[in-house]
């Protein structure tokens, strides 16, 4: 599953080329509805219309950890970047738990993300920071997208990816809303579990992923390359679930880590490492330290 990842063309951007695609009503309704229901649910909970006890909070935290890691270790580093290879049970696990994040099918997510790396900062970048902070954050999410599926021919060969694509909505609704609501009913809190897992967890998780495309292309240092807008900072790790050094990631996208220090907060990297130890992952890609050092020297010189 080796994927060629062309580097961005660094020609200056002509602002007239930056055209926002039209809104897609289905996405607009879904994203706004989740936010509105979250706000309404918060008011109803505050006025004691339904209870939320610790088991429902713990369920939401657990759901958040698992599905956020499915996005970073699965959708991002495994599927989009082929930064390692996974055995099919792990691939299947990421396809189910990643769907709970409601960020699209893994195939569409990966095609779009590969477009982002290829055209970063250019008019064809799907979450182009030059279109504005809010466009890069969530404006693109509610608009029409047209990812280049020729870029994911390697993934199209996987029957599991095809299965997730065909059944994306049933898998997403089951893993994001229905199953956690049923689990909550075990302690008599179906509505509380739906609110905590289906709304609070989902919306927080969305914004944490969106921050990778907005905040991580806006604030922070450029220690590895100044050829693109991606940036890194220790605090980014905590608002993006471990995508700490996006500058490192855009400079070395096939590395399974988002930084070189093992102890930096990066649950995706630790899970990939652990998956290798238990035999579920192989061929972990790590950049040669000398190449990283050279990149840092060049970045210091302004490249």
Q: Could you list the residues that contact Zn ion (CB under 5 A)?
A: 230
Question: What's the helix, strand, coil split of the chain in %, to 5?
Answer: 60, 5, 35
State which residue, 131 or 230, has the beta carbon closest to Zn ion: 230
Closest CB 302 distance from Zn ion, rounded Å: 21
Position closest to Zn ion via CB: 230
Please tell me whether residue 26 adopts helix, strand or coil conformation: helix
Query: Which residue from 98, 105, 90 is spatially nearest to 152, judged by alpha carbons?
Result: 105
Q: Centre a 10 Å sphere on the Cβ of residue 2 and count the other Cβ atoms it contains.
A: 10
For residues 244 and 199, give the distance between their C-alpha atoms in angstroms, rounded to a whole number: 25
72, with CB counted inside 10 A (0-12, 13-18, 19+), is buried
CB of 108 to Zn ion, least distance (A): 15
Closer CB to Zn ion, 191 or 216, in the complex: 216
Instruction: Name which of 56 and 112 has its Cβ closer to Zn ion.
Output: 112
Nearer to Zn ion, 60 or 236 (CB): 236
| Residue 199 CB, nearest approach to Zn ion (Å) | 27
Residue 119 to residues 21, 221, 229, 258, Cα–Cα distance (Å): 16, 21, 12, 20
* Of residues 41 and 253, the one with the C-beta less far from Zn ion: 253
Min dist. Cβ of residue 110 to Zn ion (A): 10
* CB contact at 8 A, 75 and 103: yes
- Minimum CB separation of residue 260 from Zn ion in Å reads 17
């Amino acid at each position: 599953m080796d994927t060629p990842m062309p580097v961005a063309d660094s020609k200056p951007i002509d602002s007239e080329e930056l055209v926002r695609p039209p809104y897609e009503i289905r996405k607009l309704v879904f994203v706004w509805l989740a936010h509105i229901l979250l706000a309404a649910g918060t008011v109803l909970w505050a006025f004691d219309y339904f209870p939320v006890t610790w088991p429902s909070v713990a369920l939401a935290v657990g759901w958040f950890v698992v599905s956020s890691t499915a996005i970073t270790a699965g959708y991002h580093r495994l599927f989009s970047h082929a930064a390692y290879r996974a055995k099919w049970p792990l691939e299947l696990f990421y396809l189910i738990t990643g769907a709970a994040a409601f960020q699209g099918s893994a195939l569409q997510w990966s095609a779009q993300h590969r477009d982002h790396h290829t055209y970063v900062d250019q008019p064809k970048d799907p979450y182009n920071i030059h279109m504005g902070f809010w466009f890069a954050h969530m404006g693109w999410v509610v608009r029409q997208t047209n990812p280049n599926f020729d870029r994911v021919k390697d993934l199209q060969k996987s029957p599991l990816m095809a299965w997730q694509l065909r059944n994306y909505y049933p898998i997403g609704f089951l893993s994001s809303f229905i199953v956690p609501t049923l689990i909550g009913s075990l302690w008599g809190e179906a509505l509380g579990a739906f609110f905590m897992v289906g709304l609070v967890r989902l919306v927080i998780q969305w914004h944490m992923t969106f921050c990778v495309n907005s905040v991580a292309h806006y604030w922070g240092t450029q220690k590895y390359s100044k050829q693109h807008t991606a940036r890194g900072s220790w605090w980014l790790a905590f608002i993006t679930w471990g995508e700490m050094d996006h500058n490192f990631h855009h400079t070395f996208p096939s590395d399974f880590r988002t930084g070189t220090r093992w102890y930096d907060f990066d649950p995706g990297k630790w899970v990939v490492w652990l998956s290798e130890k238990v035999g579920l992952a192989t061929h972990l890609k790590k950049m040669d330290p000398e190449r990283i050092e050279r990149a840092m020297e060049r970045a210091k010189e302004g490249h």
